[in-house]
Structure 1
Amino acid sequence: MDNEVVACSALLQLPGIGSDPSVMMQTGLRPMRDKEKVSQLHVAESEHQLSCPNCGSGVALDSSRLAFDAQRQIEDLQAQVRLLTQKATAAVDRWADYEDELQAMRQQCASQEVARTSTPPAAIQNRLSSFLTSRKSVPNLGQKPPLPSTSPSERDLAAALSREQVLRQQAEGKLDEASGELEELSQQLFEQANEMVATERKARAKLEERVAVLERRDVEKRKRLERLEGAMGRIERVRGLLAPPGDK
C-alpha cells in the first residue's frame, strides 16, 4: 500500500499529469479524498511497524528470554553457594567435635599422670628395699632381671594418643579439601558472573542500536508522510482551480 501511494504521488507530480483529469483517467488513477488517503497511509505505517522483518516484537522476546536465562543462572549459582556454605558449616562442626574430643583426651591423660605421680613415697621405699634385699640374698647367676612390663594405662594412653593424631590429621585433611572446593567454586562463580555481565552488555548494545534504527526509520516515514500530505494538498488546490464553475 505504501509503494502504491508513493507511485501515485510521483505520477501526480509529473508535468501534465497532476493538472489534467483526462490523463489521470487514461492512466487508471482514481481521485482519492484526503481523509481516505491519510487513513490508508496511517494503516500502512502501523502494519509496517508491526510486521518489520528486521526487528519488531522479536526484540522484546529476545530481551525477555535473555533476562530469564540470566535469572535462572543466578538462582543456580546461589544454590551452589548455599550448598558450599552448608558443607563449610558441617566441616567446622566436625572440627569443633574433634577439638572437644582432643580436650577430653588431654584431661584424661593429665588426670592419669597426676594419679600415677601421687604414689606414696613409703610404698616406693618399701619396693626398693625389698628389691635390694632380694638381690643380696640371691647370688648372681648371670641372668638379667626381667624388665618391668608396661601397665595397661600406659598402653591405653599410647593408643589414645595415636588415635588422636590420626583423627587430627583426618580433620585437617577434610578441612583443607573443603576450603579448596569452596575457593574453586567461588572462582567459578565470579567467572560466570563476569561472563553474564559481558553478555548482558553486548545484548543491551544491540538493542540500543536496533532502537536507534527504528527511530531513524520512524523519522523518515514521518517526513515522507508530510511530503505526501503536502503533495495531496497541492493536487486538491489545482483540482479546485481547474474544476468547472458548476461543480463547485
Structure 2
Amino acid sequence: MAVAPAVTLSPAQCCPQCGFDVGLPPLEDTQSALLSAQKQIADLQAQVRLLNQKASAAVDRWADYEDELAKLRTDLDNSVSSASPARSSFLSSSAASRLSSLLSPRKSIPSLKPLPAVPPTPPSQPQQQRATLAGLGPSPFPFSAATPLSSSPSTDDLLEALTREQALRLEAEGRLSETSREVEELSVSLFEQANEMVATERRARAKLEERVETLERRDVDKRRRLERLESAMERIERVRGLLGQTTSQAQPQKQGYPGSGWLRS
C-alpha cells in the first residue's frame, strides 16, 4: 500500500484549538486590505461628522424659523388689534366677496395640511457593518420629530399679501389712468395750440398778401398819375413854346408902321 505523504501545516495557517485550515492570504495582501479598510473607515467617519454638522445647522435654522414665525404671528396680532375702522373698511363688499372666492380654493389645498410622517428606511447591511466598524450608531435626525406648521398663519399671510397686492394694483391703476388722462389732455392742448398757430399764421399771411396787393395797386396808380403829369408838363411846355414864338413874331410887325403916329395925331 502506498503511503500518502504527510502535509505539514504551519501554526499560522491552522486553528490552534481544532486544527482547521484557515487558508489566510499572504501577509502583504492582508496589510493592504487592512490599510484600505482603515482608510474607508476614516472616510465614513468624516462623512458622519459632516452629516452631524449639517443636521445641527439645519436644527438651528429650524429654530430660527420658528422664532421668526412666532414673532410674525405676534406682529400680525398686534397690527390686527390696533387697526383703525377706516382700515378695516378698506375692502368693499364686492372686494370682500372676491377675496373670499379667491381664498376658498386655497384653504382646500391638501398641501396646507400636515404631511404624514414617513417611516425611516432601515439601513442596509453594509451600512450597519460600517457603523459597527466605526463605533458609531445611526444618529437620529430631529426632522422627523418636528411638528408640522398649522395652516392658519399661512392663510393669514396669504390674506395680507393679497390685500397688499390689491391695494398696490388699485394704486397702480389709478396712477395709470391719471397719467393717461394727463397725456390725453396734453395732446389735446398741443393740438389746439398747433391749430391756433396755423390759423394765426394763415391769417397773418392773408393780411400780408392783401397788403402787398394794395401796395402794388397804389404803385400802379402812382405810375399812371406820374405819366399823366409828365404828359401834361410836356403839353404845357409846348404851349409855352408856341406862345413865345407868336409873341416874338408879333413885336416886329408893330414896329414896321411909320405913319401910325401921324394918323393918330
| TM bin (shorter chain) | 0.3 to 0.5
Which structure is higher in RCO with an 8 Å CA cutoff and minimum separation 6? Answer: 1
Structure with greater helix percent: 1
Structure 1 length-normalised TM: 0.40
